Structure 1
Amino acid sequence: MSVTRAGTVVMSEACGDRFVDLLRHGDTRGGVRFRGVQDDQLTADGWRQMQTALADGAWDQVVTSPARRCAAFAEDLAERLGIPHEVWPEVGERDFGAWEGQAADEIPIEELSRFWADPVGYTPPGAEPFQALQARSLVAWRRLLEHDAKRSLLITHGGVIRVLLGHVLGMPASHLLFLEVPHACLSRVRIPARVGEPSLVSHGGIR
Structure 2
Amino acid sequence: MQNLTTTIDLIRHGEPAGGPMFRGNRDDPLSDLGWQQMRSAISKADQWDLVVTSPLLRCRRFAEQLASERQLTLEQDERLREISFGAWEGMTADAILAQTPEALTRFWNDPVANPPPEGEPVAGFHARVREAWSHWCREAAGQHVLVVCHGGVIRMILAEVMGIPLDRSFSALAVPYACRSRVRIDQSEHGVFSCLQSHGC
TM-score by length of 2: 0.91
1:33-83, Cα deviation, whole Å (9 max, x unpaired): 101111111011111111111113110001000100000000000001101
The answer on whether the counterparts of 1:60 and 1:149 sit within 8 Å (CA) in structure 2 is no
Partner of 1:180: 174
In 2, distance between residues paired with 1:37 and 1:145?
25
Q: Which runs of 5+ in 2 are unaligned?
A: none
User: Quick one: distance in 1 between partners of 2:80 and 2:149?
Assistant: 6
The CA deviation string for residues 101-141 of structure 1, in whole angstroms up to 9 with x for no partner, is 00011112122222122212111111001011100000001
Answer whether contact 1:40 1:68 (CA < 8 A) is retained. yes
Secondary structure of the 1:40 match is coil
Separation in structure 2 between the aligned mates of residue 92 and residue 86 of structure 1, nearest angstrom: 13
Aligned mate of 1:119, from 103, 111, 121? 111
What residue number does 1:9 align with?
none
Between the aligned partners of 1:179 and 1:113, the Cα distance in structure 2 is 16
Q: Supply the distance in 2 between the matched residues of 1:175 and 1:113 (Cα, whole angstroms).
A: 13
1:197 aligns with 2:193: yes
Offset of 1:149 from its aligned partner?
5.1
Instruction: Specify the alignment match of 1:43 in structure 2.
Output: 31
Alignment of 1:1-207 (within 5 A): 16-55=4-43, 56-107=45-96, 108-147=100-139, 148=141, 150-176=143-169, 177-194=171-188, 195=190, 196-205=192-201
Q: Which 4+ residue blocks in structure 1 deviate beyond 4 angstroms?
A: none
Secondary structure, in 3 states, of the residue corresponding to 2:178?
coil
Name structure 1 gaps, 5 residues minimum.
1-14
CA–CA distance in structure 1, aligned partners of residues 60 and 142 of structure 2:
20
Alpha carbons of structure 1 residues 193 and 118: separation in structure 2 relative to 1, 3 Å: closer
Displacement of 1:17: 1.5
- CA distance in 1 between counterparts of 2:184 and 2:117 reads 37
Are the aligned partners of 1:61 and 1:149 in contact in 2 as well (CA < 8 Å)? no
Q: SS of 2:59's equivalent?
A: helix
Number of equivalent positions: 191
Q: CA deviation at 1:16?
A: 4.6
CA distance in 2 between counterparts of 1:17 and 1:149 reads 5
Given that 2:88 and 2:117 are in contact with CA atoms closer than 8 Å, whether structure 1 keeps it comes out as yes
What letter matches 1:152 in structure 2?
Answer: V
